[in-house]
């Protein structure tokens, strides 16, 4: 399975790097391919290291203005002209999506895939990996949107919240009939 991971390229502490490395290791051991923003910095590097060290493949989609930070040892690297093309290519190449901790770019990517699912433009499974409760507030907001009628589909049809990497991958494999 090609698993797109949206996450930060920032250097973060062990609370965030440990689960990213663990998820990358699980992904690689499972024989999957990481589809990610292609950066060799921060959490993007950590998850890619985990995938590569455990035998998985790396398919990066960087963007022109960040091409200097692209990972040299990826199995495949595509350079998009802008962020919109990058998002489109990441989603095109993915069978499933995992949203890990990140900033505004990650949130933008997360809401785009959820909007596509909401309108029936994709049926790819989406997992929000809620490392150390990072997305508790977002989950609460999504529930409010659902409760107050802003979502035409149940939240459970749009996204699965996982607290640990093993649960995230298990959900994806089960949803794709792998496990």
CA angle 63, 67, 72 (to 5 degrees): 125
Interval 2-19: pLDDT, tens:
999 999 999 999 999 999
Kindly write down the DSSP assignment for every residue of the chain, as one continuous string: -EEEEE---S---HHHHHHHHHHHHHHHHTT-EEEE--B-SHHHHHHHHHHHHTT-EEEEEEEGGGGGGB-TT-SEEEEESSHHHHHHHHHHH-SEEEE-S-SHHHHHHHHHHHHHHHTTS----EEEE-GGGTTHHHHHHHHHHHHTT--SS-HHHH-EEESSHHHHHHHHHHHTT--
Q: Which residues pair with 63 in a beta bridge?
A: 80
| Amino acid 179: pLDDT | 62
Average pLDDT value for residue range 106-124 = 93
Count how many domains the chain has: 1
Range of the domain at 109: 2-175
Contact of 53 with 21, CB cutoff 8 Å: no
Q: Model-level pTM?
A: 0.94
Q: What confidence score (pLDDT) does residue 176 get?
A: 82
CATH number of the domain at 44, please: 3.40.50.450
Query: Above 90 in pLDDT, residue 178?
Result: no
What value does the mean pLDDT of the chain take? 95
pLDDT band at 59 (very low <50, low <70, confident <90, very high): very high
Per-residue pLDDT, 177: 83
């Amino acid at each position: 399975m090609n698993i797109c991971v949206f996450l930060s390229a920032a250097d973060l502490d062990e609370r965030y790097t440990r689960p990213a490395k663990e998820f990358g290791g699980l992904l690689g051991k499972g024989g999957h391919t990481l589809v990610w923003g292609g950066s060799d910095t921060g959490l993007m590097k950590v998850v890619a290291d985990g995938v590569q060290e455990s035998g998985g493949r790396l398919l990066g989609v960087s963007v022109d203005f960040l091409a200097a930070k692209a990972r040299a040892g990826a199995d495949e690297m595509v350079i998009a002209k802008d962020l919109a093309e990058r998002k489109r290519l990441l989603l095109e190449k993915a069978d499933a999506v995992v949203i890990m901790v990140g900033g505004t770019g990650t949130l933008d990517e997360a809401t785009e895939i959820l909007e596509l699912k909401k309108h029936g433009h994709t049926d790819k499974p989406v997992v929000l990996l809620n490392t150390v409760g990072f997305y508790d507030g977002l989950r609460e907001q999504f529930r409010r949107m659902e409760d107050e009628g802003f979502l035409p589909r149940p939240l459970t049809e749009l996204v699965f919240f996982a607290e640990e990497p093993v649960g995230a991958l298990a959900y994806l494999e089960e949803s794709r009939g792998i496990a």
